[in-house]
């Protein structure tokens, strides 16, 4: 809103949070915002896809049922390949994680929507829960021996302190890298699209006969880049889920 | 713009976003883990079962059909053998019959022929005898007609010759 008043186009305007319903609980602002709306909408879509596309458990699946089964088998294979049989317990969580991030990313690709995963707080909340969960699983399964995870084997004793420090740091930065990767990808892509959108509008309506037709160039770029962004939206959801699988595997099997 | 150039760094709505994230993700997890995923697993599993069962059934049907085919070809072979055997037997029987009939016929016909030949010889002889008589009679008749009734009379002949010699 502020950007429009000031006259200059603001590519970050799309990330603004807008309160839809004011909710104040325990002294916290828990308002239902456009972000909340798209979270709930994503969840509703996933539930619709996985639960209501199954009419009478047909042997020959409908299209929607096929999509649901494909996602199920895609994630199931991911968990099986990366974690193994012990990972089956965590399959529902990985499935939810993948589908949630995927749907939030994909819904964000529709113009005028809000991209939930373009906010660092959301991706960081997911990542920190994964981090603590995975660490907890490691300690539950291996007890105090889980600390061996930070001690690489077959290394000269003199180097060990240094390597342990490096291992611990790399372990602790996992939630940061996991969340920033997703957030930065989504934010950068959407900002880029918006910036080029401003180029298109600015050139078409410049009133200059030479510049106006050239607006077709950024428009073509936006079309191509939208395709790339859809790929990124899927890829980041996949990366998020598969890294969670890998962290889980580290905790369950150590190295 | 006034607070921050990046709305992501504005902590005003952090609590709200975390709260709604937990809320929606919890609902998603419960629905998925309790209802949707078991259902999908069930559907996929039952489909696999159906496919396996159908394949097994098809295999059985194939085996059955192969056995039936074998039985069928065997039956045809057997029938063919039987038919050719029957054919050979009846042909032999027929040949024997034909031979016997032929022999009987030959014998009979030979008898008949010899009888005919004998008959013919007899008749021929008779005809020959008859024909001598007839020739005599005809010759006498002709002579009589030409030379008069008694031309062959001894006396007449003698007189005839005498008159011829005188001339």
Q: Worst-scoring range by mean pLDDT, A21-30, A117-126, A234-243?
A: A21-30
Asked if pLDDT for residue B56 goes beyond 90, the answer is: yes
Distance in Å, alpha carbon of A199 to nearest chain B alpha carbon: 20
Q: Please give the average per-residue pLDDT across B59-70, as a whole number.
A: 95
- Which residue has better confidence, B151 or A228? A228
User: For residue A143, what are its two tokens?
Assistant: 């007890």
Q: Which of A23-27, B19-23, B43-47, B120-124 has the lowest mean pLDDT?
A: A23-27
State the pLDDT at residue A3. Answer: 40
For A24, the enclosing helix (H) or strand (E) is: strand A24-25
- Chain A interface includes B46 (CB < 8 A): yes
Q: Are A121 and B41 in contact (CB < 8 Å)?
A: no
CB contacts < 8 A (A, B) = 135
* Cβ-Cβ contacts under 8 Å, B43 against chain A: 54, 57, 61, 65, 69
Transcribe A27-63 into DSSP letters: TEE--EEHHHHHHHHHHHHHHIIIIIS-STT-SS--H
3-state secondary structure B7-52: HHHCHHHHHHHHHHHHHHHHHHHHHHHHHHHHHHHHHHHHHHHHHH
Q: How far apart are the first and last CA of chain A?
A: 52
Q: Residues A156-213: pLDDT tens digits?
A: 788 888 888 888 898 899 999 999 999 999 999 988 888 888 888 888 887 778 778 7
The sign of the torsion formed by the CA atoms of B61, B66, B69, B70 equals negative
Contacts of A51 in chain B (CB under 8 A): 31, 35-36, 39
Tell me what the mean pLDDT of segment B138-151 comes to.
78
Neighbours of A118 (CB within 10 A): 26
Residues of B in contact with A91 (CB under 8 A): 37
Contact at CB, A121 and B47, closer than 8 angstroms: no
Residues on chain B touching A31 (C-beta within 8 angstroms): 13, 16
Cα distance between residue B49 and residue B60, in whole Å: 16
Q: Residue A96: list chain B partners with CB under 8 A.
A: 25, 28-29, 32-33
Tell me what the mean pLDDT of segment B17-40 comes to: 89
* pLDDT of amino acid B108: 93
For chain A, say whether B14 makes contact (Cβ under 8 Å): yes
Q: Across residues B106-129, what is the average pLDDT?
A: 92
Which candidate, A17, A227, A242, A233, places its Cα nearest to that of A104?
A233
Q: What is the pLDDT of residue A56?
A: 62
Cβ neighbour number for residue B7 with a 10 Å cutoff: 20
Residues of B in contact with A56 (CB under 8 A): none
Contacts 24+ apart (CB under 8 A), B61-69: none
Other Cβ atoms closer than 10 A to A35: 28
- The residue among B8 and A75 whose pLDDT is bigger is A75
**What's the pLDDT score for residue B152?**
67
A119 to B17: CB separation less than 8 angstroms, yes or no: yes
pLDDT at B54: 92
Say whether B102 sits in a helix, a strand or coil. helix
The CA distance from B61 to B20, in Å, is: 58
Per the prediction, chain B carries an average pLDDT of: 87
Three-state SS at A27: coil
pLDDT at B100: 94
Q: How far apart are CA A144 and CA A209, in angstroms?
A: 73
Q: For position A2, what pLDDT does the model report?
A: 38
Find the CB nearest A39 among B24, B32, B44. Answer: B24
Q: For residue B6, name the pLDDT band (cuts at 50, 70, 90).
A: confident
Q: What gap in Å lies between CA B76 and CA B88, rounded to an integer?
A: 18
Rounded to two decimals, the pTM is 0.72
Of B10, B21, B40, the CB nearest to A122: B21
Confidence of residue A66 (pLDDT cuts 50, 70, 90): confident
Residue among A104, A117, A135 at smallest CA distance from A38: A104
B75-100 confidence digits (pLDDT tens)? 999 999 999 999 999 999 999 999 99
């Amino acid at each position: 809103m502020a950007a429009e008043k000031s006259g200059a186009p603001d590519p970050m305007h799309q990330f603004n949070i807008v309160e839809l319903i004011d909710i104040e609980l325990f002294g916290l602002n828990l308002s239902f915002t456009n972000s909340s709306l798209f979270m709930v909408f994503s969840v509703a879509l996933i539930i619709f896809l996985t639960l209501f596309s199954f009419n009478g458990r047909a042997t020959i699946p409908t299209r929607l049922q096929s999509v649901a089964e494909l996602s199920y088998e895609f994630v199931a294979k991911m968990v099986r390949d990366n974690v193994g049989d012990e990972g089956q317990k965590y399959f529902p969580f990985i499935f939810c994680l993948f589908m949630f991030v995927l749907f939030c990313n994909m819904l964000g690709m529709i113009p005028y929507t809000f991209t939930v995963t373009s906010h660092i707080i959301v991706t960081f909340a997911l990542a920190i829960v994964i981090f603590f969960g995975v660490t907890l699983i490691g300690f539950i399964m291996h007890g105090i021996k889980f600390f061996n995870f930070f001690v690489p084997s077959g290394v000269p004793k003199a180097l060990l302190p240094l390597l342990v420090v490096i291992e611990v740091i790399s372990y602790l930065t996992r939630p940061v890298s996991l969340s920033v990767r997703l957030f930065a990808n989504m934010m950068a892509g959407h900002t880029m699209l918006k910036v080029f959108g401003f180029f298109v509008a600015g050139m078409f309506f410049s009133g200059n006969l030479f510049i106006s037709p050239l607006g077709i160039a950024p428009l073509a770029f936006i079309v191509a880049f939208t395709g790339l962004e859809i790929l990124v939206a899927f890829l980041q959801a996949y990366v998020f889920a598969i890294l969670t699988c890998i962290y889980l595997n580290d905790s369950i099997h150590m190295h | 713009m006034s607070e921050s150039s990046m709305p992501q760094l504005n902590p005003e709505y952090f609590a709200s976003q975390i709260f709604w994230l937990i809320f929606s993700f919890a609902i998603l997890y419960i629905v998925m883990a309790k209802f949707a995923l078991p259902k999908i697993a069930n559907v996929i599993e039952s489909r696999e079962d159906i496919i396996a069962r159908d394949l097994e059934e098809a295999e059985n049907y194939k085996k059955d059909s192969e056995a039936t085919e074998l039985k069928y070809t065997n039956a045809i072979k057997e029938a063919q053998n039987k038919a050719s055997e029957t054919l050979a037997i009846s042909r032999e029987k027929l040949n024997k019959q034909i031979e016997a009939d032929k022999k009987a016929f030959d014998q009979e016909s030979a008898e008949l022929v010899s009888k005919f030949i004998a008959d013919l010889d007899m008749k021929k002889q008779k005809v020959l005898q008859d024909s001598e008589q007839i020739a005599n009679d005809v010759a006498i008749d002709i002579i009589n007609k030409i030379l008069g009734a008694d031309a062959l009379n001894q006396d007449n002949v003698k007189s005839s010759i005498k008159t011829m010699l005188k001339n």
